[in-house]
Structure 1
Amino acid sequence: MTVCSTKTKRGLLTGTCIAVLAALPGAAFAEAATTPAATATETGGIQDIVVTARKRSENVQTIPVSIRAVDAAMIQRQDITGLEKLAAKAPELIIARSSNGSGASLTIRGVGSNFSSVGVEQSVAVIVDGAYYGHGRTIDEGFFDLARVEVLKGPQALFFGKNATAGVVSITTADPGNSFEGMARIGYEFRSKSLYGEVMASGPVSSTLGIRLAVRGSNMFGGYTKNLATNAFYNTLDIATGATAALLATPADRDQPGTKDLIGRLTLKWAPTENLTDTLKVSGTHSRGGASGFSTILGCAGPTGQRNPNLVCGAKFTTYFNNLPKEYKGATGIKDNELYSDYDSFAINNTFNYKLSDDVTFTTVTNYNKNKVRYLQDYGQQSDAGVWAAINSNFKAFSNESRILTSFDGPVNIMVGAYYQTTEREHDEFVNFIGLINSAAAPGDKYLAFTKFSHTHGETISGFGQAIWKVMPNLEFAGGVRYIHETKRSSFFQPYVNPALAGLFTPQTSDPATTLRVNQTFDNWSPEATLTWRPTPNVTVYGAYKTGYKSGGFSNSGILSPADPRGDGMSFGPESAKGFEGGVKTTLFDRQLRFNLGLYTYTYSGLQVDYFDPLSIRYITRNAGSSRTRGVELELEYVPRAVDGLTLRGTLNYNRSRYVNFLAPCWQGQSIGQGCVLQPLPGQAGNQLLQELGGVATANAPRWTGSAGAEYDVPVSGDIQLGLSADWRFSSSYNSSAFDSPNGFQKAYSTIDASIRLRSEKVGWEFAVIGKNLTNIQYKTGVFDITGTGSGTGTVTGGKQSDTFLLTQLPRTVQVQVTYRF
């Protein structure tokens, strides 16, 4: 869906285009050739916003879509170059970055997926230029030179299809325009000592071909967090010879994450006729960093760490990470003994639009993307545990969506299409336990505790259709359905286990005889129906029934152990959603106020969760019962005609997201009286310490969230413009743990972002100061217990709560940047 608005500010016409796709997985964000641009018919006030949510020109106030959007102007002003920075603009969106598993967890309205398994795709689908990116590693993509970014809330099966049970985050990059433009920018962020630069050139090569090239690079000379680790010495035993040695693990870099990025994108847009447009985009990301920089040790039972008395708990934006001892450098799968986190990606995307007739348009979107993740991380997190893991993970996907849309003058129009995707994931892990080596093993395995290799091939075939029937001039019914057929073929092989650990991990020494193989097939029909009533041109009332579906899969991050000899804890079933959404959208007071109110209620079944079971020393992925989310959302925008250049905006959201039933793992130190009981889990081997969380809030589900913002542009001298903006974001308390751990509790907080800009419209220069999280709030987005801490779990009296590894957001950042446009 493309959203365009225009408003005049002291004779300066500024255009704002917000794009939100209302098509299926992998659908194009590019506008059809027939999409008209919005035009301002009067000065000031709320202007019409033209949308193509159903690939037809409509007013955003007349369609049943719940959207949080950030336009190109806001992206530039606030330097939104990643999903985490986007979350600060959308209170109902919470993003947790992690160094392991899928790399991130995205949550909307209290519904999301765990980050700890690379095989669990996100319940919040990420779409980039019309192509579906289902893995959390998308958070590492370089988002720059963007046209728009949007958050669609609630299930989106019909229009986005694949794995959009909780919502969609859609990103659209900029296209070349009809005239030449260029931009050069340099900036510096003080907290991380980060220097960045960006250049862009765009324009027509001929009357039918346009080109756009954008490149951005950054070098972080400091970091967002301080690593306070100290030297750690480990006594190592060679189980083959009995020899011992004391090995030194030095602290990782003091400033984390110390990232260096280089990203680029080339766009070619060809329009040989009025009826045909073809847009090709080629992009790449190259990122290098150290240990995870968005983490802090918190929630200790005392003032210091349970395993390390030198660790001070509760300090803001601090980490405790050590490098591997230098002797381990060169082990199988390990690039270096110093902690590293490398990400490389490449994507090519082509959108083809052809107008078959005045009323029929054909669109096809073809995408190929791949990424490579390499990292070595310290999983002890207390400078003494001696557990490191190196990950080498590759992912690639090819997809195509083709659809036909009609725009007849009659009462009925349709959309029909098909979608195909094939994916390949290779995930290898190399784990070190300091204290044990095996000189009798192959040289590369000498220092390893165990190795594992996993692979999943996926294929998706989907068909979809929607009909729109104008029952009466002011009453419209829309109904559609999507069918999804998905297959996944997975394998898991654990070829080496240190003999001293054979009681914990199962070696598979004869490939392919002992390789674990799992073949899965999933089928689903996801219907949707909407009724829209427009009693007056400025009032829209709508109600919708929506569904969502996410197929099951295989946990490539799992561990094969004697406690689960068949690997039951690695396979999981589908997740689904269904429910109702409705609301009213109005434009009031001579088009000066936009007032939108929405309500929703959804039930989620088969929630996919992943967790670590300390009893069996393995990760378990399974379906966790059901949850229900209900809420009310209010959105306001005020553009007074009496004060040209001023825009005020605000939101207020109430959300109640609770588990209906969920037999969940216990948190460390939880007693029997607190609900922790040793019991069998259906479909899993052995007994586990479990608790029933029916009626408890889901993770990252604050009851209240809200925001308020203001922008004011005013001339100061000649063509010199002063721009001011400020945004306040509020969240009530919530628990960032999916298992209701007391360590995950986050109290209410608020953050403030602000910017000041001075620019010359005539010359093209701009000087800006941009501040984010000016209150320097450290708020939790994810949390898990640290291995080897806590005690007494599942006993009558309980015991000591564990120390906690916390995922958090960026601290206060202030940056200056200079931009020149030509």
Structure 2
Amino acid sequence: MSSDRSLFLISGILGAVYVMPGAAFAQDVAGSQAQPAAGGLDEIVVTARKKEEGVQDVPVAVTAYSEQLILQRDITSVEKIAAIAPNFNVGRASNGSGAQLTLRGIGSSSTSIGIEQSVAVVVDGAYYGQGRVINEGFFDLQRVEVLKGPQALFFGKNATAGVISFTTNDPGPEREFITRAGYEFNAQQYRIEGIASLPLSDNAGVRLALRYSKMEGGLYDNIQTNRTYTTLDVVNLGAGGNGNPIVHTATPVTSNQPGEEEFLSRITFKVEPSENLTINVKGSYNYNRTANSSWNYVPFACGQANGLSQLTGLPCVADFVTRQNNMPTDIAATFPLARADGAPFNRYESVAFNAAVDYEASNLVISSITNYQWNNNRFMCVCDFQTGNNSGTWATEDTSWEAISQELRLRSEFDGPFNFMIGALYQSTERIFDQFIMFAGLRNSAAAPQNVFLATTKNSFTDGETFSLFGQVNFAITPELELAVGGRYTNETKDSFFTQPYNNPALTFIFRDQSAPLGEVTANQKFEDFAPEVTLSYKPTDDLLFFGAYKTGYKSGGFSNGGINSAFSPDPFSDLTFEPETVEGFEAGIKSTLADNQLRLNLTLFTYDYSDLQIDFFNSPIFAFQTLTADARTRGVEIDFEYAPYAVKGLNLHGAINYTDAEYTDFPQAPCFAGQTIAEGCTLVGGLSARQDLTGARLSVAPEWTGTLGAAYTTAVGTDFEFGANIDARYSDSYLASGFGNPLSEQDSYITLDAGMRFGAADGNWQIAVIGKNLTNEFFVTGVVDGPSTGAGTGTATGVRADQLGFGNLPRTVMVELTKRF
């Protein structure tokens, strides 16, 4: 059956079922999922349109999760949200942007640090633009919102696929002291958390939240042996010289991966000088360190027919295991940013300051958000991700990101049919990038000590400025029917620089030297965009909402700071720069609350076309990273339900099912996957590039069917105690993890199971909980790269496919947690 007919049939069936008496399907679960003793659904407030509204009243496809559910299921990172959101996937990457976030089949390549995510992350109303936000820990949260589809009007650029929005807790009117201590058995991880909230006066308060955690064990096992690595001195190589070979020993990376240590802190001051004015200031510091930046890179599929890796000679296994070695210690002794013992690591630090001011003047609300953020990520990676003899590729990197932004909004609250919102945003950004790479078994005794074993170094930066004007006009045509028309204008500049200050002289045929023509690349880019949006909503009763919307979006073009200035490439400027990504399409839905607030039933249909979808790949024949663009489409149906019957107090049943058809609509010059043959559709172009036609092929990490099903129950035990339990399953259909059609990257369908139990005082004074995640220990990958130094014969009749190194998920975890309130 064609995708068009499938979508039409599904839509018709769902529409028919929806109007049947007693139908029980929905689109957006509000996320309460643990009910008070009286039964019925809890109200969830969202800020999808930059103002507080009930989740069932906003004409946006948004799924919101309450503070109670966040605590029950330990949703404390972007990565963990994927465990509860059925059509959202997170791939944790080693280098590049550090992550691949995919929603409704649309995501961004992780291999380029210059490509920002199509799924934007927003914290307390401020945009966090880097994939490294995956290393941020989020706790003491008031709610989490997953907004699906383009969100340009209210959230700006880089939200072409959707938004993940975190709202942290504020100080309250009462004194509150909370301590939590937890222990996770698989990673042997202990966690300590403290929260103190104090009223300073009748109109001011402060809240301090601290968390520390450390793993004594790990989640992945590194199963590797000693490897040898031989270097040759280019000073004595050729003309009768043998290069004075030196054999180095690379010992295995520690078996406990990732060995994470984390410290998170946040302080919040909230002041209400008058009933019209609210000032909320937050400051945070995060520190995260792991024993390896590529701790979840698994060789899960081998390219050779015998099932053995071309690099290590070992079988590929889809399991929570890696095969990586430390940098030899004698090399690490002088290698920039390396540890003396040669062990890989990843260290992430961030500082953020956020000031929100709201002033209500008669029928107008003036809002201001001032944000400053800085983060630094430093790592050493085992950059072939599986170590063989004489195949070691190691690199270190030091990257900083700094951003300052100011947003102002004016919103009306008139009693009449007409209302409006206008706003402006200014943001200044700076990215600084340094990288040091070794491979090919070469050394240069004539170089400075820090460069002896290096193949190349990279230095790059990008300074950016963004200015946006946005607004929306709301007109109530009748008391039940509202038309909203708006748009966002964006003007953006990016000034970038890239150079390779040092290249091993034997590798000048690969790397363009700094002194050679085009040895330095500069780019002064300017982008301009207008993204309109029109929404029509009909609310015949308080419990029923129909909406339809035309939406567009814009994602910034930019500069690939971590690319390569290849001597084989005729146009390094084009290799390192890329154009913006845009989207337009339609969304329609029904939201309803039925059976006297016992049942939520919602349905959404969507179709979006993407132009210049940004895709990064490594063009091995010319030894260059290149960002290509393709056209794509995603369309589908999403249905969710949540049921909390009065007849069974404390019971909550919830579920979701999504159908998504995401494919390339125009990608005739797509790169071939490594080892793709002529018979498989790959042809050589000009002897330098291998190309295939992926028009009509599915996008990466884009399963057709996804869904969740779960139940939660809370009940009184006597008069003084309370017991609660929950169980939740998540299903994903099969998909390709590769964006280039590699059949070896196929991830089979899977089901994960989470469950938890809680027992404590009825007044919440204390509680002990057990939280289990991925209890079936299901392994799957949410992204992939071709194994370096594997694969051959691309575009020929006898190619050998590269090994597939997948971004593995989190294995089974079981945590015991004790909470005490004072």
Q: What letter corresponds to residue 723 of structure 1 in structure 2?
A: G
Q: Which range moved further: 289-298 or 773-782?
A: 289-298
Summarize the alignment of residues 262-661 of structure 1 with structure 2, pairs less than 5 Å apart: 262-291=263-292, 292-300=294-302, 301=304, 302-309=306-313, 311-331=314-334, 333-336=336-339, 337-357=342-362, 359-384=363-388, 385-433=391-439, 435-509=441-515, 514-567=519-572, 568-623=574-629, 625-661=630-666
* Cα deviation, residue 536, structure 1: 3.0
Q: Please tell me whether the aligned partners of residues 305 and 382 of structure 1 are also in contact (alpha carbons under 8 angstroms).
A: no
Give 2:261's aligned amino acid. Answer: K
Q: Which residue identity lines up with residue 614 of structure 1 in the other structure?
A: S
Q: Residue 184 of structure 2 aligns with which residue?
A: 189
Letter of the structure 2 residue corresponding to residue 416 of structure 1: I
Deviations 1:234-267 (A, max 9, x none): 2211111332111111111111111111111111
> What is the TM-score normalised by the length of structure 1?
0.92
User: How far is the alpha carbon of 1:47 from its aligned partner?
Assistant: 4.9
1:130 aligns with 2:130: no
Identity of aligned residues (%): 47
Aligned-pair CA distance for 1:208: 2.0
- The match for 1:25 is none
Q: CA deviation at 1:675?
A: 0.9
Tell me which amino acid in the other structure corresponds to 2:770: V
Q: Residue 46 and residue 718 in structure 1: after superposition, are their counterparts in 2 closer, same or farther (change >3 A)? A: closer
Q: Could you tell me how far apart the structure 1 residues matched to 2:551 and 2:31 are?
A: 28
* Alpha-carbon distance in structure 2 between the residues aligned to 1:565 and 1:389: 26
One-letter amino acid of the counterpart of residue 300, structure 2: L
Distance (Å, rounded) in 2 between the aligned partners of 1:6 and 1:122: 29
SS at match of 2:153: helix
Deviates more, 1:753-762 or 1:535-544: 535-544
Do the aligned residues in 1 keep the contact of 2:519 with 2:565 (CA within 8 Å)? no
> Could you tell me how far apart the structure 2 residues matched to 1:314 and 1:421 are?
45
Q: Is residue 56–residue 407 contact of structure 1 (8 Å, CA) maintained in 2?
A: no
Q: Distance in 2 between matches of 1:53 and 1:429?
A: 39
State the alpha-carbon separation in 1 of the partners of residues 351 and 250 from structure 2.
Answer: 35
Higher RCO (CA 8 Å, separation ≥ 6 residues): 2
- Partners of 1:405 and 1:532 in 2: how far apart? 19
CA distance in 2, matches of 1:739, 1:201: 50
Deviation at 1:762, TM superposition (A): 3.5
- Corresponding residue for 2:752? 751
1:333 maps to a residue whose letter is P
Q: Where do residues 782-793 of structure 1 align in structure 2 (5 Å cutoff)?
A: 782-793=783-794
Letter of the structure 1 residue corresponding to residue 140 of structure 2: D
Any residues of structure 2 matched to 1:28-39 within 5 Å, and which?
Answer: none
Q: CA deviation at 1:315?
A: 5.0
The one-letter code of the counterpart of 1:379 is C
Specify every segment of 5 or more residues in structure 2 that has no aligned partner in the other structure, as ranges. 1-28, 237-242
Return the letter of the residue paired with 1:98: A
Q: Is the 8 A contact 2:512 2:519 kept in 1?
A: no
Whichever residue aligns with residue 563 of structure 1, its letter is F
Other structure's SS at 1:85 match: helix
CA distance in 2, matches of 1:303, 1:224: 25
Matched position secondary structure for 1:61: coil
Q: Distance in 2 between matches of 1:10 and 1:308?
A: 57
Shift of 1:621: 1.4
Q: Is the 8 A contact 1:120 1:553 kept in 2?
A: yes
Return the match for 1:170 from 151, 165, 168.
165
Partner Cα separation in structure 2 for residue 615 and residue 659 of structure 1: 25
Question: Structure 1 pair 506/744, CA: closer, same or farther in 2 (3 Å)?
Answer: same
Q: 8 Å contact 1:331–1:444 — kept in the other structure?
A: yes
C-alpha change, 1:69 and 1:49, in structure 2 (3 Å) is closer
Q: Deviations over 1:313-353 (max 9, x none)?
A: 11510011111111222435323121111111100110011
- Distance in 2 between residues matched to 1:7 and 1:157, nearest whole Å: 30
Shift of 1:800: 2.1
Name the structure 1 match of 2:240: none
Contact 2:405 / 2:428 at 8 angstroms: preserved in 1? yes
- Quick one: structure 1 residues 8 and 287, their matched pair in 2 at CA, closer, same or farther if it must change by over 3 Å? closer
Report the counterpart of residue 780 of structure 2 in structure 1.
779
Stretch deviating more after TM superposition (294-303 or 765-774): 294-303
TM-score by length of 2: 0.92
**Displacement of 1:172:** 1.1
Q: CA deviation at 1:45?
A: 2.4
Q: Deviations over 1:407-446 (max 9, x none)?
A: 0011100000100000000011100115100011112111
Structure 1: 5+ residue runs without aligned partners? Answer: 12-42, 681-685
Deviation by residue 1:127-178 (Cα, 9 ceiling, x = unmatched): 0111111110000012111111111000011011121000001111111111
Instruction: Note the alpha carbon deviations across 1:646-705, whole angstroms, 9 max, x for none.
Output: 11111110100010011221112211121111126xxxxx83101110101001111000
Q: Secondary structure at the match of 1:496?
A: coil
Per-residue CA deviations over 1:346-381 (Å, capped at 9, x if unaligned) read 001100111122x10100000000011110011122
2: CA distance between counterparts of 1:257 and 1:572? Answer: 34
Q: 1:120 aligns with which of 115, 121, 124?
A: 115
Amino acid at match of 1:222: G
Q: Counterpart of 2:790 in 1: which secondary structure?
A: coil
- Deviations 1:276-315, CA, capped at 9 Å, x for gaps: 1111111011111111222211111333322222x33115
The residue type paired with residue 309 of structure 2 is G
* Residue-by-residue CA offset, 1:36-86 (whole Å, 9 max, x unaligned): xxxxxxx53235555554455644323211012221111111112211111
Residue 456 of structure 1 contacts residue 491 of structure 1 at CA under 8 Å; is this kept in 2? yes
| 1:80 is aligned to 2:84 | no
CA 432–56 in structure 1, closer or farther in 2 if over 3 Å, else same: closer
CA distance in 2, matches of 1:444, 1:50: 55
> How far did 1:230 drift?
1.2
Partner of 2:223: 228
Alignment partners' CA distance in 2, 1:307 and 1:49: 52
Check 1:52–1:552 CA distance in 2 against 1; reply closer, same or farther (3 A cut): closer
* CA–CA distance in structure 2, aligned partners of residues 74 and 383 of structure 1: 42
Give the SS at the match of 1:506.
Answer: coil
Aligned partners of 2:31 and 2:63 also within 8 Å: no
Give the secondary structure class of the aligned counterpart of 1:630.
Answer: strand
Instruction: Report the 3-state secondary structure (helix = DSSP H, G, I; strand = E; otherwise coil) of the residue aligned with 1:472.
Output: coil
Between 1:710-719 and 1:87-96, the stretch displaced more is 710-719
Residues 419 and 461 in structure 1, CA contact (< 8 A), matched pair in contact too: yes
User: How far apart, CA to CA, are the structure 2 residues paired with 1:510 and 1:546?
Assistant: 47
The question of whether the paired residues in 1 share the 8 Å contact of 2:35 and 2:41 is answered with no
How far did residue 763 of structure 1 move? 6.6
Contact 2:55 2:62 in 1 (8 A): no
Q: Which secondary structure does the structure 1 equivalent of 2:79 belong to?
A: helix
Equivalent residue for 2:713?
712
User: Partners in 2 of 1:189 and 1:59 — Cα distance?
Assistant: 36
Q: Would the aligned equivalents of 1:5 and 1:50 in 2 still touch at CA under 8 Å?
A: no
Distance 2:31 2:783 in 1: 37
| Distance across 2 between alignment mates of 1:9 and 1:155 | 32
Per the TM alignment, residue 717 of structure 1 is displaced from its structure 2 partner at its CA by 2.6
Q: In structure 2, give the amino acid aligned to 1:638.
A: Y
Contact 1:476–1:532 at 8 Å: present in 2 too?
yes
Q: In structure 2, the residue corresponding to 1:497 is in which secondary structure?
A: coil
Answer yes or no: is the 8 Å Cα contact 1:611–1:620 preserved in 2. Answer: yes
Structure 2 match to 1:673: 679
CA separation of 1:665 and 1:699: change in aligned 2, threshold 3 A = same
